[in-house]
């Protein structure tokens, strides 16, 4: 199986984190997202330990909570002693409600509103990652009005093409994120930021994209960023203490995806950085990374109940499910591959080609096209693997479909971490 938290039990049922998924589907209803706390902690600790070992002692991962933001996961991040990346006041609010130590939070975004900036400062967010010169000036003004000096990283665009889907690639010069080195504007940004009285510049950030398998693009970005540190040191006498390399390491959605050794990747990147720092005569900066997908994707799985089988003679077979693009829009948006299994009949022949059709009034509402399953029947339990990242986080109420229940599994115990939405919840704000 694509992840070691999956297996098949004596009843021929799929197990996840040691639990029978068919039993859990019965207990909680479907659509149901299951999360494996042990796997989330394992991933966080791989990053934490490897970064401490291969970079400086104070280097650490920041969980990119846009991948999946809810109170309990910030509690896990707190107890794993890592930081977080937040991208809205909503994520900051959720982390605060969870009791997360906000000095370890980094506030991202290319369009932070003034209210959000104030809210983040009021809640003692440790760092802002500023995306433009205009933004950094607004943060300076607001910080002054609130009588604080705000620590800041500047988001720099290194000009890297990480060979991933265009919609999740962010490091190229014409990206809407960050300020480009290539145009010379990144240098201007540093100079102007250093002159702002209520901003303390701590260093730089870059993020090249998401779902990246090779580690070379990260090394290429690191090379450009270390040179940028050396250049801005020469130009302005400013030594960047922190370099944040962003997120983006890939995960296996299907057997076709390679396995990734995150620890080895981190070591490889660290080797390049140490060598470069030696060449430029710099101390190694504190390194931050922002893994989102690689922390939660394979820590999650979604269960659906099969609806109707539609066999279009000679053309296509569809099996409908009780969820779809409302809880997982990733095939609709990016044609993302997923592994689909028939959780209640794992040992039968996987020889029937069918398309998993979501329930929305939209032809594009597909979870996966032409997968092989045992011929599905009504009320079978369909499992879609590796759904922990950017599924619930991107869910919607399209067609007024309530959001699913999310259940955490830890040490063979299951408990609700996000309740299933009711129809009443969905109209709570309607007048
Ligand atoms: N840091 C920054 C600044 C980011 O923009 C992102 C992701 C991350 C970290 C985390 O990247 P990760 O480790 O998860 O690859 N909705 C898309 C993914 C969008 C990624 C947005 N930024 C998807 O479903 O594939």
What is the distance in A from the centroid of ligand 1 to the CA of 223?
21
What is the distance in A from the centroid of ligand 1 to the CA of 347?
36
Write down the pLDDT at residue 164.
61
Residue to mutate (ligand 1; options 248, 300, 302, 394; most atoms within 8 A of CB)? 248
Q: Which residues are catalytic?
A: 361
- Residues 266-308 pLDDT 10s: 999 999 999 999 999 999 999 999 999 999 999 999 999 999 9
Return the ligand 1 atom nearest residue 390 CA.
24
Residue to mutate (ligand 1; options 68, 293, 300; most atoms within 8 A of CB)? 293
For residue 23, is pLDDT > 60? yes
Domain regions of the chain by residue span: 6-36+297-426, 108-291
Which two tokens mark 296?
């939660």
What is the distance in A from the centroid of ligand 1 to the CA of 367?
20
What is the distance in A from the centroid of ligand 1 to the CA of 62?
12
Return the ligand 1 atom nearest residue 211 CA.
15
Q: What are phi and psi of 33, to 5 degrees?
A: -100, 130
The span from the CA of 401 to the CA of 408, in Å, is 22
Is residue 229 very low, low, confident or very high in pLDDT (cuts 50, 70, 90)? very high
Write down the pLDDT at residue 174.
80
Average pLDDT over residues 90-103: 98
Question: How many other C-beta atoms lie within 10 A of the C-beta of residue 335?
Answer: 11
- Residues 309-324 pLDDT 10s: 999 999 999 999 999 9
35: nearest Cα among 380, 410, 346: 410
Return the ligand 1 atom nearest residue 250 CA.
15
End-to-end CA distance of the chain: 48
The span from the CA of 305 to the CA of 104, in Å, is 40
What is the distance in A from the centroid of ligand 1 to the CA of 137?
26
Strand (E) positions, 12-167?
14-16, 19-20, 32-36, 60-64, 83-86, 105-107, 127-130, 150-157
Write down the pLDDT at residue 173.
80
What is the distance in A from the centroid of ligand 1 to the CA of 89?
17
Write down the pLDDT at residue 103.
98
- Residues 125-162 pLDDT 10s: 999 999 999 999 999 999 999 999 999 999 999 988 77
Write down the pLDDT at residue 169.
60
Residue to mutate (ligand 1; options 290, 291, 300; most atoms within 8 A of CB)? 290
Q: What is the mean pLDDT of the chain?
A: 96
What is the distance in A from the centroid of ligand 1 to the CA of 216?
18
Residue 169 is given by DSSP the state B
Return the ligand 1 atom nearest residue 292 CA.
14
What DSSP string runs through 118-163?
A: HHHHHTT-SEEEE-SHHHHHHHHHHHHHTT--EEEEEEEE-----S
Is residue 417 very low, low, confident or very high in pLDDT (cuts 50, 70, 90)? very high
Write down the pLDDT at residue 390.
98
Write down the pLDDT at residue 165.
57
Is residue 340 very low, low, confident or very high in pLDDT (cuts 50, 70, 90)? very high
Return the ligand 1 atom nearest residue 333 CA.
24
The span from the CA of 203 to the CA of 69, in Å, is 26
Residue to mutate (ligand 1; options 62, 210, 244; most atoms within 8 A of CB)? 210
Write down the pLDDT at residue 401.
98
Instruction: Using a pLDDT cut of 90, give the percent of the chain over it.
Output: 95
Average pLDDT over residues 210-237: 95
Is residue 358 very low, low, confident or very high in pLDDT (cuts 50, 70, 90)? very high
Is residue 170 very low, low, confident or very high in pLDDT (cuts 50, 70, 90)? low
Residue 393 is given by DSSP the state G
| Three-state SS at 361 | coil
Average pLDDT over residues 49-62: 98
Q: Closest residue (by CA) to atom 23 of ligand 1?
A: 390
Count Cα neighbours of 192 within 13 Å in the Cβ-side half-sphere: 17
Q: Closest residue (by CA) to atom 8 of ligand 1?
A: 247
For residue 21, is pLDDT > 60? yes
Domains 6-36+297-426 and 108-291 share a fold: no
Q: Closest residue (by CA) to atom 6 of ligand 1?
A: 247
Instruction: Using a pLDDT cut of 70, give the percent of the chain over it.
Output: 98
What is the distance in A from the centroid of ligand 1 to the CA of 248?
6
The span from the CA of 261 to the CA of 294, in Å, is 11
Return the ligand 1 atom nearest residue 209 CA.
15
Write down the pLDDT at residue 172.
72
Return the ligand 1 atom nearest residue 330 CA.
24
* 6-36+297-426 topology per CATH: Lyase, Ornithine Decarboxylase; Chain A, domain 1 (2.40.37)
Q: What is the largest CA-CA distance in the chain?
A: 72
Q: Closest residue (by CA) to atom 24 of ligand 1?
A: 390
Domain 108-291 class in CATH: alpha beta
Q: Which residues line ligand 1 (CB under 6 A)?
A: 64, 66-67, 85, 108, 168, 207, 210-211, 246-248, 290-294, 330, 334, 389-390
Is residue 215 very low, low, confident or very high in pLDDT (cuts 50, 70, 90)? confident
């Amino acid at each position: 199986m694509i992840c070691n938290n999956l297996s098949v039990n004596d009843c021929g049922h799929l197990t996840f984190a040691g639990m029978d998924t068919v039993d859990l589907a019965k207990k909680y209803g479907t659509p149901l997202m299951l999360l494996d706390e042990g796997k989330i902690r394992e991933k966080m600790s791989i990053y934490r330990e490897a970064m401490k070992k291969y970079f400086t002692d104070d280097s650490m991962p920041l969980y990119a909570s846009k991948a999946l933001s809810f109170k309990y996961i910030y509690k896990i991040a707190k107890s794993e002693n890592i930081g977080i990346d937040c991208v809205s006041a909503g994520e900051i609010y959720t982390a605060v409600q969870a009791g997360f130590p906000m000095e370890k939070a980094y506030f991202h975004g290319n369009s932070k509103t003034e209210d959000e900036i104030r809210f983040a400062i009021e809640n003692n967010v440790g760092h802002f990652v500023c995306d433009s010169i205009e933004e950094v000036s607004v943060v300076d003004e607001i910080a002054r009005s609130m009588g604080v000096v705000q620590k800041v990283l500047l988001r720099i665009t290194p000009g890297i093409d990480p060979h991933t889907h265009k919609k999740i690639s962010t490091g190229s010069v014409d990206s809407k994120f960050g300020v480009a080195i290539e145009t010379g504007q990144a240098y201007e940004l540093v100079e102007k930021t250093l002159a702002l009285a209520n901003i303390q510049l701590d260093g730089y950030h870059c993020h090249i994209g998401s779902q990246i398998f090779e580690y070379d693009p990260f090394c290429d970005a690191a090379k450009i960023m270390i040179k940028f540190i050396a250049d801005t040191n020469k130009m302005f006498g400013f030594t960047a203490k922190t370099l944040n390399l962003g997120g983006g390491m890939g995960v296996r959605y299907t057997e076709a995806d390679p396995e990734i050794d995150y620890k080895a990747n981190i070591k490889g990147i660290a080797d390049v950085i140490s060598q470069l720092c030696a060449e430029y005569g710099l101390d190694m900066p504190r390194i931050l990374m922002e893994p989102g997908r690689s922390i939660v994707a394979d820590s999650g799985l979604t269960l659906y109940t099969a609806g109707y089988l539609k066999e279009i003679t000679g053309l296509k077979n569809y099996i409908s499910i009780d969820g779809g693009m409302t809880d997982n829009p990733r095939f609709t948006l990016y044609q993302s591959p997923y592994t689909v299994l028939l959780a209640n009949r794992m040992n039968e022949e996987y020889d029937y080609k069918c398309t998993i059709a979501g329930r929305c009034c939209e032809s594009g509402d597909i979870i996966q096209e032409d997968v092989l399953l045992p011929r599905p029947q009504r009320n079978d339990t369909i499992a879609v693997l590796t759904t922990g990242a950017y599924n619930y986080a991107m869910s919607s109420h399209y067609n007024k479909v309530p959001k699913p229940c999310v259940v955490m599994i830890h040490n063979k115990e299951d408990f609700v971490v996000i309740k299933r939405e009711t129809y009443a919840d969905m109209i709570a704000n309607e007048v």
